[in-house]
Amino acid sequence: MLTQQKIIHALKDVEDPELHKSVVELNMVRDVHIEGTHVSLTIVLTIQGCPLKAKIKQDVETAIQALGATAVTLQFGSMTDEERKQLTASLKKENTTSEGMPTMLREDSGVTFIAVTSGKGGVGKSTVTINLAAALARQGKRVGIVDADIYGYSIPTMMKITEKPTMIDQMAVPVTKEGVKVMSMGFFSKDNQPVMWRGPMLNKWIRNFLVNTHWGDLDYLLLDLPPGTGDVAIDVAAMIPQAKEIIVTTPHNAASHVASRAGVMARHTKHEILGVVENMAFYETSDGERNYLFGKDGGSALAGALATEVIAQIPFAQPEENTGSSVYDEDSVVGEAFTHLAEDIIHIN
């Protein structure tokens, strides 16, 4: 026989497709009525016009039919402002420790932070960030990107993200692309105007992105940093001392990186360096011959100076034509290089 209890129990397995939490836990199930084998109920949505309504409807119906119901009448409602506030307060509480620290930063959070840095601009940090993230996701890892280049954010454009994060009260649900959860200041700027925050606001911004974002469980959080040793790099170092660093260079820019890198190291020696990624390292012709356009030793010289290793050499190549995305195809030479890098990183972390 169908009972309220059985129905609620079955709905515990139905997740809100955005928050990835049970609709029961999120307090979205209301007015369950049973008449014989006919069940009617209301699901209150976190936001109005939730685009994933159809998915919820199907999952709820399937779960209740599996109990033997012959008809399910489902109505949708939406949470009141008060209910939404309560929900985000509880999500935010989960994201914050009793000391007020982002939960993610706890040693036992299971999240590996990887900051992608460089001494100079334009060497391919963002390219490395998004392609490494996509490669980690292809390996089944749960991956997020924080576009920490807050003045010169480029991740949304480079990944061809046109959506904005869903906002539930003050809580942002990151946009998922290539299997990766993405947050960027670019989502919040008006008409792509640059962001003009300085000093203390910056630190708050990083915190906000850790605490007021519903990341769910992550294995890796990649941070795409602006070039050099500015405020953001210093704040990230202070806020996330456990982050590991990947330093991106091109062969011809390596020398200039040593000096600027030394500056950061003098101030913050905490970040462990995973290694150097030498980007645009060579050009491979169609018959597999490698041309080293900018010399051969830049990456290894930088790695030597920093007492680390070159962990990847990424060839010079265009991403797939016509897509406009800077994420390289899995089967391309560059895509494969990132797959190897992802495998190595998974192996050591």
The annotated binding site for ATP is made up of 119-126
The residue among 303 and 312 lying less far from ligand ATP, judged by its C-beta, is 312
Site membership for Mg ion, residue 250 (CB under 5 A): no
**Contacts by 198-204 with C-beta closer than 8 Å and gap 24+?**
198/231, 199/231, 202/150, 202/231, 202/232, 202/235, 203/235, 203/238, 203/239
Binding string to ligand ATP for residues 135 to 174, with x set by CB under 6 A, is what?
A: --------------x--x-x--------------------
Site membership for ligand ATP, residue 118 (CB under 6 A): yes
Q: Min. distance of Cβ 6 from ligand ATP in angstroms?
A: 53
Q: Min. distance of Cβ 149 from Mg ion in angstroms?
A: 5
Three-state secondary structure string covering the chain: CCCHHHHHHHHCCCECCCCCCECCCCCCEEEEEEECCEEEEEEEECCCCCCCHHHHHHHHHHHHHCCCCCEEEEEEEECCHHHHHHHHHHHHHHCECCCCCEHHHCHHHCCEEEEEECCCCCCCHHHHHHHHHHHHHHCCCCEEEEECCCCCCCHHHHCCCCCCCEEECCEEECEEECCEEEEEHHHCCCCCCCCCCCCHHHHHHHHHHHHCECCCCCCEEEEECCCCCCHHHHHHHHHCCCCEEEEEECHHHHHHHHHHHHHHHHHCCCCEEEEEEEECCCEECCCCCEECCCCCCHHHHHHHHCCCCEEEEECCCCCCCCCCCCCCCCCCHHHHHHHHHHHHHHHHC
Q: Record the tokens describing residue 270, joined without a space.
A: 């905490």
Residues 175 to 194 in contact with ligand ATP, rule: CB under 6 A:
none
Residues 101 to 140 in contact with Mg ion, rule: CB under 5 A:
125-126
> From CA 51, how far away is CA 116, in angstroms rounded?
33
Residues 235 to 274 in contact with ligand ATP, rule: CB under 6 A:
none
Q: Which of 122, 194, 200, 324 binds ligand ATP (CB under 6 A)?
A: 122
For the annotated binding site, the residues are 119-126
Piece in contact with ligand ATP (CB under 6 A), picked from 19-27, 81-89, 164-172, 311-319: 311-319
Q: Which of 189, 316, 333, 344 binds ligand ATP (CB under 6 A)?
A: 316
- The residues, any chain, with a CB within 8 Å of residue 132's CB and separated by 6 or more, are 114, 116, 222, 246, 338, 341, 342, 345
- Quickly tell me which residue has 């003098």 as its tokens: 266
Site membership for ligand ATP, residue 125 (CB under 6 A): yes
Site membership for ligand ATP, residue 117 (CB under 6 A): no
Q: Which of 102, 165, 186, 227 binds ligand ATP (CB under 6 A)?
A: 227
The residue among 144 and 227 lying less far from ligand ATP, judged by its C-beta, is 227
Site membership for ligand ATP, residue 127 (CB under 6 A): yes
The residue among 2 and 155 lying less far from Mg ion, judged by its C-beta, is 155
The residue among 50 and 148 lying less far from ligand ATP, judged by its C-beta, is 148
Q: Min. distance of Cβ 223 from Mg ion in angstroms?
A: 11
Q: Give the residue closest to ligand ATP by C-beta.
A: 121
Q: Min. distance of Cβ 326 from ligand ATP in angstroms?
A: 5
Binding partner of 44, given Mg ion, ligand ATP, none, CB within 5-8 angstroms per partner class: none
Binding partner of 88, given ligand ATP, Mg ion, none, CB within 5-8 angstroms per partner class: none
Binding partner of 227, given ligand ATP, Mg ion, none, CB within 5-8 angstroms per partner class: ligand ATP
Residues that bind Mg ion (CB under 5 A): 125-126, 154
Binding site for ligand ATP (CB under 6 A): 118, 121-127, 149, 152, 154, 227, 279-280, 314, 316-317, 326, 334
